[in-house]
Chains A and B, each alone.
Chain A
Amino acid sequence: MAEYHLTTPISEEAARKLKVGDVIYVTGEHVYTARDEAHERAIEMFEKGEKPPVDFEGSVIYHVGPVAWKKDGKWKIVSAGPTTSIRMELFEDAFLRDYKARILVGKGGMGKKTLAALKEVGAVYCSYTGGCGALAAKGLKEVRAYEWQDLGMPEALWVITAEEFGPLLVTMDSHGKSIHEEMDKLVASRKAEVYAKIGVKE
């Protein structure tokens, strides 16, 4: 387990070095929020040959619908903990192949399609402690743009400058390892013991 302080854009080589259990802090201008609808729109644009408002290559894609407000004419992130990433499983593999983002951040982990795409493209998935919106907002220093506003505040594409945004725990890497899969196995192995406590026989 190593600790990395990375600056965006992140290269494929740097992303492939990361392993599950590593902790990352990210600094830089290529940090974007994207939930279901932003993923869907980005993929549609790619299919149509259109260019999104930002360059996703080497970026950090944060699964979050932030609370933000405009103070003195400038948007500021107030609270921004991760949302449940598995919803993006529908889109993430295509998104990774289309745009070569290098670090996904969310909570709860993702599935086999994304894990395969991480390996193919050279990227990682990191878990950020769910609900820690106030803590995350500290690392999301500046909002440079608020794109796709028609999707509403949570679903929009927020363009962010991060400073030591973390700790991000690598839970899925480009070597096919997933802490979430391992946890599934561990918990499944305990199921009989748990059932015994409530009088259920399998």
Chain B
Amino acid sequence: MNDPYQVIHDTTFRLLKKAVTELPSDIKEALETARNNETDETAKTQLSAILTNLEIAETGVPMCQDTGIMIFYVKVGAKFPFAGEIKEAITQACRKATKEIPIRPNAVNPIVGGNSGDNTGVKIPWINWEIVDGDSAQITAFPKGGGSENASIVGMLKPGVGLTGVKKLVVDNAFSYMGKACAPNIIGVGIGGGADIAIKIAKQQLMRPLNDKHPEPEVAKIEEELMDAINSSGIGPMGLGGKTTVLGVKVDYAMRHPASLPVGVAVQCWAARRSTAVISKDLKVTYLTHPLEGN
């Protein structure tokens, strides 16, 4: 039997490599559609540059120099036997990826300063753990760029403003950062729970495929309205004008406290990098977003 630590480590390394060099197919297709739909010359030029860039990146070069801060989402089956190996394997894979892909060292100590040089350090890589049923583990590498992260917000609204107030917050935020978050963007919105819960839900929405609609029609309608509204702003790719400001808006919620209406808005640049694999209890690996050749 293979060494579980090694399997998790090697899987994570491939997830990172694929995440930073190849966009998931839904994102790439959306960018192609956007280029074909744009009539504005500048917008077309920006989207063409992005698509050419993606072709070059697929030869094994990071598509963006900001290869992000190391964030992972891990769903561990309650009966997965190697949960204890995951954290260290992911950390070591980040170190190897830094040297060998290579990716940019992006872990800076905010207190004493200094870049750790290997994308690891205090609480980084950050792992979002979730315990689920079953005996496998699902790992998603989600390296997140700084430019779009800087456009993310949490608003603690007065419940009286209602859903209109929620939508206004999301739209006003888009107006405030314009193209600075490398539009076309994907926006995740989390409503309710608390400040931390709202932004956590918001960020989880960035994991959803672009064609995924929220199962509840009321929420799906908010997603559509927000997308239509923001795309009518004219901000366009890179904020230089055009029809495509967002590729998608994804919304979800939790119950809220009677006195609070927290709203998290997570902004993702067009380089929406994510790569997911499932490791079974007998250490078989299935890559979901970036399948192995021949699968």
Please determine whether A167 and B49 come into contact, CB atoms closer than 8 angstroms: yes
Given A131-B182, A131-B269, A67:B102 Cβ within 8 A:
yes
Pairwise interchain contact A186-B61, C-beta atoms closer than 8 A: no
Is the Cβ of A67 less than 8 Å from the Cβ of B63? no
* A187 lies within 8 A of B175 (CB): yes
Q: Evaluate whether A198 and B168 lie within 8 angstroms (CB atoms) in the complex, with A79-B62, A133-B63, A190-B234 already known.
A: yes
0/1 interface trace, chain B 78-122, chain A, CB 8 Å (1 if under)? 000000000000000000000000111110100000110100000
Which of chain A's residues have a CB closer than 8 A to the CB of B67? 67, 79
**Bitwise interface map of A from 110 to 150 toward B, beta carbon under 8 Å scored 1, else 0:** 00000000000000000101111111111000000000000
A194 touches B232 (CB 8 A): yes
Q: Which residues on the B side are within 8 Å of A167 (C-beta)?
A: 45, 49
Chain A contacts for B171, CB-based, 8 A: 194-195, 198, 200
Are A134 and B53 closer than 8 Å at their CB atoms? yes
Residue of B102, B228, B237 with highest tally of chain A CB at under 10 A: B102
B204 CB within 8 Å of chain A? no
B179 within 8 A of A: yes
Alpha-carbon distance between A107 and B53 when the two chains are bound, in angstroms: 16
Residues of B222-267 whose CB lies within 8 A of A: 225-226, 228-230, 232-235, 237-241
Docked CA distance A180–B97 (Å): 37
Kindly list chain A residues whose C-beta atoms are within 8 Å of the C-beta of B239: 108-109, 180, 183
With a cutoff of 8 Å between Cβ atoms, the chain B residues found around residue A127 in the complex are: 238, 240
B240 touches A197 (CB 8 A): no
Q: Tell me whether A198 and B64 are in contact (CB under 8 A).
A: no
A82 CB, min distance to chain B CBs, angstroms: 9
Other-chain contact of A131, B45, B102, B167, B270 (Cβ < 8 Å)? B270
**A130-B238 contact given A78-B61, A183-B178, CB 8 Å threshold:** yes
- Cβ of B56 within 8 Å of any chain A Cβ, yes or no, is yes
Contact-residue size bin, chain B (C-beta under 8 Å from the other chain): 35 or more
| CB of B46 closer than 8 Å to a CB of A | yes
Partner of A135 from B53, B108, B164 at Cβ < 8 Å:
B53
| Cβ of B211 under 8 Å from chain A | no
Q: Which residue of B lies closest to A107 (CB)?
A: B238
Q: Is B199 an interface residue (CB 8 A)?
A: no
Q: B34 in the interface, Cβ–Cβ < 8 Å?
A: no
Q: How many residues of A contact B (CB 8 A)?
A: 47
A194 pairs with B104, CB closer than 8 A:
no
Q: Which residues of A contact B65 (CB under 8 A)?
A: 64-67, 78-81, 133, 136
1/0 contact string of B134-160 vs chain A (CB within 8 Å): 000000000001010010000000000
**Which residue of chain B is the closest to A201 with respect to CB atoms?**
B164
Q: Is the interface of A mostly helix, strand, loop or mixed?
A: mixed
Q: How far is the CB of A187 from chain B (nearest CB, A)?
A: 5
In the complex, which residues 129-186 of chain A have their Cβ closer than 8 Å to any Cβ of chain B? 129-138, 152-154, 167, 169, 171, 179-180, 183-184, 186
Contacts of A190 in B (CB 8 A): 232-234
CA distance A78 to B98 in the complex (A): 12
A67:B62 contact, CB within 8 angstroms: yes
B214 to chain A: which residues have CB within 8 Å?
none
- Of residues 36 through 78 on chain B, the ones whose CB sits less than 8 Å from some CB of chain A are 42, 45-46, 49-50, 52-54, 56-57, 61-67
B167→A83 contact, CB < 8 A: no
Q: Return the CB mask of A60-93 against B: 1 if under 8 Å, else 0.
A: 0000111101000000001111011010000000
Does chain B have a CB within 8 A of A51?
Answer: no
Q: Is the CB of B180 within 8 A of A135?
A: no
| Bound Cα distance A131, B50 (Å) | 8
Asked if B180 and A134 sit within 8 Å, CB to CB, the answer is no
Does A3 reach chain B (CB closer than 8 Å)? no
Is the pair A187, B233 in contact by a Cβ cutoff of 8 Å?
A: yes
Contact B269 A130 (CB under 8 A): yes
Say whether, besides A108-B180, A132-B50, A190-B234, A183 and B241 are in contact (CB < 8 Å). Answer: yes
A-B CB contact pairs (8 Å), 6 listed: A133-B63, A133-B64, A134-B57, A134-B61, A183-B241, A190-B234
Q: Which 7 A-B pairs have the closest CB atoms?
A: A130-B182, A133-B65, A152-B115, A132-B53, A134-B56, A129-B49, A197-B229
Interface residues of A (CB under 8 A from B): 64-67, 69, 78-81, 83-84, 86, 107-109, 127, 129-138, 152-154, 167, 169, 171, 179-180, 183-184, 186-187, 190-191, 193-195, 197-200
Given A134-B53, A167-B45, A190-B234, 9 extra CB contacts under 8 A = A86-B180, A131-B271, A132-B64, A135-B52, A137-B61, A179-B240, A187-B234, A190-B233, A195-B171
